[in-house]
Amino acid sequence: MEQRIEIKNGRGFAPIPSGGVLTFEIQGISERESILQKEYRNLYSRYISENMTMRLDDYIVPIWGDGHNLYPQEVYSVTSENKLLPEVINKQVKFLFGKGPRLYKEVVTGEGEKQKRARVPVEDPEIWEAFGRWEDLGYDHPFEYLKNIVTDFYYVNTCVSRYHFSRARRLTGNITGRYLPILALSYVGSDEARLATKEKSHTKRIKNSDCKYVIVGDWMDPNRYDYEVYNRLDKSNPFKYPTAVEFNTDKTFTKWIYAFNDWFRGLFEWIKASNLSPQYLNSYLKNALNAHIHVIIPGIWYDKQKETLQNICSENLTGEAPVQTEYKGVKLVDDEGKIIPFYETMVDGVVRNELRIITNLMSGEGKNQGKLYATTKWGEDGWEFKEMPGKFKDFVDSIITYDKRSDQVILAGKGISSSITNVEKDGELSKSGSDVYYNYLIYVASLTWDEYICTKSINNYIRWNWPDKWKEGIRVGFWIDIPAKLQDTTPSDRPAQTATADNKSNLQKTEEQ
């Protein structure tokens, strides 16, 4: 017989075959449901935020960021304060850029299972001469352009380039000399570029392909400064507009307009924690007690100071003795020369003066170091100094341990081994050369897609300026050297032990990838 069980809001009942009803309650289910509802609310709020738009004159601009239009600025603001990430990203840029862009052809060697693809360098004076004219025309050198493009890619997975066409751009065929269809490319910062559309109404969600314009301006305050509107590059008809901007992104899962890097949000709290660690340490060094001393002031000493002050003040008022203007830092005559009668707080002034003398002897660099905590002890005459208990070493050690852990998580999230970023446990490089070597090989082998996105526009420059050379397979790629292992080099190729640091790098043998 099928058993019927009903559950609602964590409570339920089940009929018993022998008669009667069994009731029950599931503890904690209401809390779990509230957590689920909260997660769903967060999910929907993020979805709504990611699909927000803003209007700029006749253009609709999709928002790039979580409730704001400043995602590149947010990424830079958080990462720039971190001790690790700026240099890690800089190394990623250098690893991909290598020795700079080079022309190559891809050739196939071998047959069957032994078939391999390899890049063969190509020397084409015409193309290199055209690259050299970029600066003559007032644009950045191709090396500078590509370095900026690669940097943007590793921060926000986005590369934006402006095409500068000649007036003769609509002519077909290979045009030599100064009248190439595309004169040069220039870098457009992802922090300034946003996609836009002119559609007044959308019956579907706006996607990247719907945005036919790129607006360049200051998105911190877009209404304060002038902005520029460019037509987005139409790859089916690249010379359609006098100038155009190409907005290349690495597609992010579930995101249909802009790219979001795959490490920033997941590492956000770790990055903040890593940024706060030195602040905690500096704050402690600046504000903590230096000697951790507890001063115990005897009550007998306190009474003696009180009695002495009372006698001096009494003698000053009666004139039985010469007037005493001060006692242990406490004024007994005001600025107008009037005698001050005894007050109980005068004794406190004597205590403060004594403590001030002690702390001046113990003070350190920090503005709050040398502070003391004072109490009064009755029955004894001499002052007593005791060390205050405090687990300050445990506090510092815990911060350092957490900081090391955050570094490990950040490197893991960035997908780059600590052995090739000069970050190892306790700040030491990996002592294993093979570990560094093979981690570097694995990392370099993963750069194919990065190179494709970053060189997409400059390869279009070759494709549309020299279609014949493009058909021959000439492309632009980055020249990345793989250092040879020491065991694979002959003794004559190895640097001499007496070689200087400068010529050691010159003697190192490398193999072209």
Contact assessment for residue 238 and residue 244, using Cβ atoms and an 8 Å cutoff: yes
At 482, is the secondary structure helix, strand, or coil? Answer: strand
Residue 430 domain-assigned (yes or no) = no
Give the pLDDT score at 203: 63
48 or 385, which is more confident: 385
Q: How confident is the model at residue 408 (pLDDT cuts 50, 70, 90)?
A: confident
Lowest mean pLDDT among 36-40, 60-64, 431-435, 483-487: 36-40
Phi, psi of 228 (to 5 degrees): -115, 135
Give the pLDDT score at 44: 61
Residue 413 domain-assigned (yes or no) = no
Q: Residue 364 is encoded by which pair of tokens?
A: 């350190």
Clarify whether residues 69 and 131 are in a common domain: yes
Q: How confident is the model at residue 46 (pLDDT cuts 50, 70, 90)?
A: low
Clarify whether residues 327 and 354 are in a common domain: yes
Q: How confident is the model at residue 435 (pLDDT cuts 50, 70, 90)?
A: confident
Three-state SS across 325-379? CEECCEECECCCCCECCCCCHHHHHHHHHHHHHHHHHHCCCCCCCCCCEEEEECC
372 or 506, which is more confident: 372
Mean pLDDT taken over the chain: 81
Clarify whether residues 168 and 238 are in a common domain: yes
Clarify whether residues 151 and 112 are in a common domain: yes
Clarify whether residues 210 and 241 are in a common domain: yes
Domain region containing 15: 6-42
Give the pLDDT score at 507: 33
Clarify whether residues 127 and 18 are in a common domain: no
Clarify whether residues 370 and 343 are in a common domain: yes
At 429, is the secondary structure helix, strand, or coil? Answer: coil
Residue 274 domain-assigned (yes or no) = no
Residue 284 domain-assigned (yes or no) = no
Per the structure, the count of domains in the chain is 4
Residue 276 domain-assigned (yes or no) = no
Tens digit of each residue's pLDDT (9 = 90 or more) over 138-187: 999 999 999 999 999 999 999 999 999 987 665 544 444 447 899 999 99
**Above 90 in pLDDT, residue 470?**
yes
Clarify whether residues 197 and 94 are in a common domain: yes
**Above 50 in pLDDT, residue 337?**
yes
Q: How confident is the model at residue 196 (pLDDT cuts 50, 70, 90)?
A: very high
Distances (CA, A) of 100 to 97, 111, 239, 288, 493: 5, 32, 28, 51, 25
Phi, psi of 290 (to 5 degrees): -80, -55
**Above 70 in pLDDT, residue 234?**
yes
Residues whose CB falls within 8 Å of the CB of residue 178, separated by 6 or more in sequence, listed in order: 133, 166
Clarify whether residues 102 and 179 are in a common domain: yes
Clarify whether residues 57 and 114 are in a common domain: yes
Tens digit of each residue's pLDDT (9 = 90 or more) over 23-38: 666 666 555 555 556 5
- Rg over CA atoms, the chain: 37
Residue 402 domain-assigned (yes or no) = no
Give the pLDDT score at 45: 61
Clarify whether residues 242 and 152 are in a common domain: yes
170 or 360, which is more confident: 360
Tens digit of each residue's pLDDT (9 = 90 or more) over 244-296: 999 999 999 988 999 999 898 888 888 888 888 888 888 777 766 555 677 88
Clarify whether residues 180 and 295 are in a common domain: no
Residue 12 domain-assigned (yes or no) = yes
